[in-house]
Amino acid sequence: MTTTSVADLLPRITRRKTRIGLIAGGLGAYWPQFPTLLPQLQESSRYVSERFQALDADVTDVGFISDAQEAAAAAERLRAADPDLIVIFLTTYLTSSMVLPIAQRSGAPILIIDLQPTEAMDHATFGTGEWLAYCGQCSVPEVGNLFRRAGIDFRSVSGHLRDENAWRRINNWIQAAHVRARLRHARHGLMGHLYPGMLDVSTDLTSVSTQLGGHVEVLEFDDLRVRVDEVTDAQARDRIDLARQVFEIDEASVAEEDFLWGARVSVGLDRLIEDFDLDSMAYYHRGLGGELHERLGAGMILGSSLLTARGVPIAGEYELRNSIAMLIGDTLGAGGSFTEIQALNFFDGVVEMGHDGPAHLAIGARQPILRGLGIYHGKRGYGVSVEFDVKPGAVTTIGLGQNRNGSYVLVTSEGTVVPGPLLAIGNTTSRVDFGCDPGEWVDSWSASGVDHHWALATGHRAAEVKAAASLIGLEHRHVDVAAETGIRL
């Protein structure tokens, strides 16, 4: 099954678009002195606006400002737009007094960009008016100084209008804005109870809202039970038909009764997500003696994987911070599968990582397998599980760790998924080469403050996650053992 066909079968659940505020400006004292300067700068700002309007975001462009009064009026318009990021384009020198009200009144993080018209001036022909179109950089340290004194985080991108390296760096901040937007409006479900003894995954729910934004909805397994009770036989059979298109079914191990139960739970889970308007969810229930809640907990994997592929990541073992990390990976367009360390292979120099439970089907190397398990290791119940590995190539581990003072930290490490032998036990498993001794990577990763679950995402995304941490107001830690030991990654 190709990624495209999975996307067609499992259309993504749409959410509020990211909102970007855009403003350009320069010092109005120049306009009467150099009549051709303002039209040139306005043309540059139109080009920048067009680039931003082409993004997958709602862009509010409040135009061009020339003095502090115009800046104050624009700040009010931006405040009303409730942006997730404001981009201020310094087309030429302007005073920092024109920037401060925009940063103070909106409450949104600010990105300063200064993109001169071309790579360099034509020194032989340029006069003062032509030079002024190239001196937006002059204001950058002035704004940086002001922001530091005002307690405002400072970030900037300098380059020229058609400098794709600059636009790549700008895009990192736009991706970060997507993450900030998703988290500050997200509704995270938490259903069941903590896996006994897993102290690292225990999460203070208030801290999620205060540090990340959004809301945690506390759910009972009975909220799922009543919805599963309403699923008809025909709806369950339709879900089995969908699963047969998405998964390769291991007919030898998948019992028809378990398959039907997983399908029934999947339909009920869809209704739960819709009724509570959830963006992510974590769950766990131990249960005893085959009672209904135990069967519901064991029947979650099929439906959770289908929902994760549609942009609503779901993690087992009550791992709320991991479902949030998965949401970050998904928002970056990088998937994000529920992951922990499974084993080390010192012959091949790889860390084998994955988990039983939900997988992000959109980033799989091949058609995922639905396999029947007589037992889930360390858990109650039995049923169908997903066997899956991430496609070969660049990957990033994304974890949401925590410091002693309770503050969250986003942790990343970049590696490469490489082909090789994998266990066929109904787990998501990938072999990741971090360019160093796998034991040394485990030591450094474990010292970062991350817990024992994280999201495995495609592509090298550390720069985007670092930018997201900046916009959210979190610390970012990047684990790169290869660089620390002088080994090229």
pLDDT band at 363 (very low <50, low <70, confident <90, very high): confident
Please give the average per-residue pLDDT across 6-35, as a whole number. 93
Domain spanning 185-484 has what CATH number? Answer: 3.20.14
pLDDT at 379: 55
pLDDT at 60: 97
pLDDT at 380: 58
Are the C-beta atoms of 427 and 342 separated by less than 8 Å? yes
Please give the average per-residue pLDDT across 318-331, as a whole number. 96
Supply the pTM of this predicted model.
Answer: 0.93
Please give the average per-residue pLDDT across 243-271, as a whole number. 94
pLDDT at 378: 56
Q: Which tokens hold the place of 21?
A: 């505020």
Tell me the pLDDT of the chain averaged across its residues: 93
3-state class of 327 per DSSP?
helix
C-alpha 388/C-alpha 302 separation (Å) is 12
For the ranges 195-204, 257-266, 461-470, the lowest mean pLDDT is seen at 195-204
pLDDT band at 2 (very low <50, low <70, confident <90, very high): very low
Are the C-beta atoms of 179 and 472 separated by less than 8 Å? yes
Please give the average per-residue pLDDT across 117-124, as a whole number. 97
Task: Read off the pLDDT of residues 26-64 as tens digits, 9 standing for 90 and up.
Answer: 999 999 999 999 999 999 999 999 999 999 999 999 999
Reported as type and span, the H/E element at residue 265 is helix 256-276
66 vs 388, more confident:
66
For the ranges 47-51, 93-97, 158-162, 334-338, the lowest mean pLDDT is seen at 334-338
pLDDT at 485: 53
Task: Read off the pLDDT of residues 282-323 as tens digits, 9 standing for 90 and up.
Answer: 999 988 888 899 999 989 999 999 999 999 999 999 999 999
Residues 6+ apart with CB under 8 A from 337: 308, 326, 354, 355, 358, 359, 360, 363, 388, 390, 428, 455, 456
The CA dihedral of 216, 151, 176, 211, to the nearest 10 degrees, is: -10
pLDDT at 8: 85
pLDDT at 487: 40
pLDDT band at 482 (very low <50, low <70, confident <90, very high): confident
C-alpha 360/C-alpha 330 separation (Å) is 9
Q: Which tokens hold the place of 209?
A: 């809202």
Is pLDDT above 60 for 3?
A: no
Amino acid at 126: F
Task: Read off the pLDDT of residues 55-77 as tens digits, 9 standing for 90 and up.
Answer: 999 999 999 999 999 999 999 99
Instruction: Sort strands 350-355 and 428-433 into parallel, antiparallel or unpaired.
Output: antiparallel
The class of domain 19-183 in CATH terms is alpha beta
pLDDT at 386: 84
pLDDT band at 426 (very low <50, low <70, confident <90, very high): low
Smallest CA-to-CA distance from 449 within 401, 386, 408 is with 401
pLDDT at 375: 64
State the DSSP string of 189-253: EEEE-PPTT-GGG---HHHHHHHH-SEEEEE-HHHHHHHHHT--HHHHHHHHHHHHHHSEE-TTT
C-alpha 225/C-alpha 219 separation (Å) is 11
Please give the average per-residue pLDDT across 150-173, as a whole number. 97
Residues 6+ apart with CB under 8 A from 419: 392, 431
Is pLDDT above 50 for 1?
A: no
Q: Which tokens hold the place of 374?
A: 């007589």
Residues 6+ apart with CB under 8 A from 151: none
Percent of the chain with pLDDT over 90: 81
Please give the average per-residue pLDDT across 372-385, as a whole number. 68
Q: What are the boundaries of each domain within the chain?
A: 19-183, 185-484
C-alpha 450/C-alpha 457 separation (Å) is 16
pLDDT at 360: 87
Please give the average per-residue pLDDT across 346-368, as a whole number. 87
64 — phi, psi (to 5°)? -110, 130
DSSP 361: G
